[in-house]
Amino acid sequence: MLWGWALAWAACTFREPLQATPPPVEAYRFVFLVDTSGSMMGLGDGKAVIFPKVQAELVRFLKTLPPSEVVFVPFHQGPQGERRFRLPEELAQAVAYVQGLRATGQNTWIYRTLMSVLKAAPPKEGVATVYYIFTDGVDNDRQGPYRMADVVQALKLQQGPYDWVYYIALGAPVPEEVRRGLGSLPRTRIQEAGVGEVPTLGAYTFKPVVLQLGNLMQTPEAQAEVALEAQGQPKPLRLLLDDTALQKQGAFLEVVPTRLEAGSHTLTFRLRGQKPKEGEYTAWLCLEAPEGTLVRPEAVPVRFAYHPPATYTLVPENVPERLELRRGESATLLYRLEGNAWAKEPLPLSVQSPKGLEATLNGEKGPLGLRPGEKLEVRLTNQNLTPGQTVQPAFQAQAPPGSQLSPLPPMPPVTQPKTLWERLLDYWWLLLLLLLLLLYLLSRWLSRWWAAQRPWGEARYVGPPPDCPEKRLTLKGRVDLGQVDRNLQGVQIYPQGEEVGLTLPPHLSAKSPLGGRRPLRVENGETFPYGTPVYFYGDNPNQEIANLTVYPLGGEAHGNEKA
Position 14 in a domain: no
Position 3 in a domain: no
- Summarised one tens digit per residue, pLDDT across range 255-306 is 999 999 999 999 999 999 999 999 999 999 999 887 767 787 778 899 999 9
b vs e for 493-531, b when ≥16 Cβ sit within 10 Å of the residue's Cβ?
A: bbbeeeebebebeeebbbbbebeeeeeeebeeebebebe
Same domain, yes or no, for 66 and 211?
Answer: no
Same domain, yes or no, for 446 and 526?
Answer: no
Same domain, yes or no, for 475 and 380?
Answer: no
Q: Among 273, 255, 182, 209, which residue's Cα sits nearest to residue 4? A: 209
Give CA separation, 222 vs 215, 219, 253, 345, in Å.
9, 7, 11, 20
CATH of the domain at 263: 2.60.40.3450
Q: What is the pLDDT of residue 112?
A: 96
CATH of the domain at 81: 3.40.50.410
Last residue within a domain, chosen from 199, 224, 251 = 199
CATH of the domain at 459: 2.60.200.20
pTM of this prediction? Answer: 0.56
Position 422 in a domain: no
Q: What is the pLDDT of residue 4?
A: 34
Same domain, yes or no, for 37 and 181?
Answer: yes
- Summarised one tens digit per residue, pLDDT across range 439-486 is 989 988 887 777 667 889 999 999 988 888 999 999 998 999 999 999
- Quote the domain boundaries for residue 289: 204-306
Low-confidence ranges of the chain (pLDDT < 70): 1-25, 292, 422, 451-452, 515-517, 555-563
Same domain, yes or no, for 301 and 399?
Answer: no
Same domain, yes or no, for 74 and 189?
Answer: yes
Q: What is the pLDDT of residue 291?
A: 72
Last residue within a domain, chosen from 273, 306, 339 = 306
Number of domains in the chain: 5
Last residue within a domain, chosen from 306, 334, 354 = 306
How is the beta sheet containing 251-256 ordered, strand by strand?
251-256, 263-273, 221-231, 202-207, 293-296
Same domain, yes or no, for 195 and 212?
Answer: no
Position 467 in a domain: yes
Same domain, yes or no, for 465 and 327?
Answer: no
Same domain, yes or no, for 489 and 548?
Answer: yes
Q: Among 508, 562, 557, 560, which residue's Cα sits nearest to residue 534? A: 508
Sequence length of the chain is: 563
Q: What is the pLDDT of residue 147?
A: 95
Q: What is the pLDDT of residue 1?
A: 31
Position 1 in a domain: no
Same domain, yes or no, for 460 and 448?
Answer: no
Position 561 in a domain: no
Same domain, yes or no, for 58 and 130?
Answer: yes
Q: What is the pLDDT of residue 560?
A: 41
Same domain, yes or no, for 39 and 186?
Answer: yes
Position 264 in a domain: yes
Position 486 in a domain: yes
Q: What is the pLDDT of residue 152?
A: 95
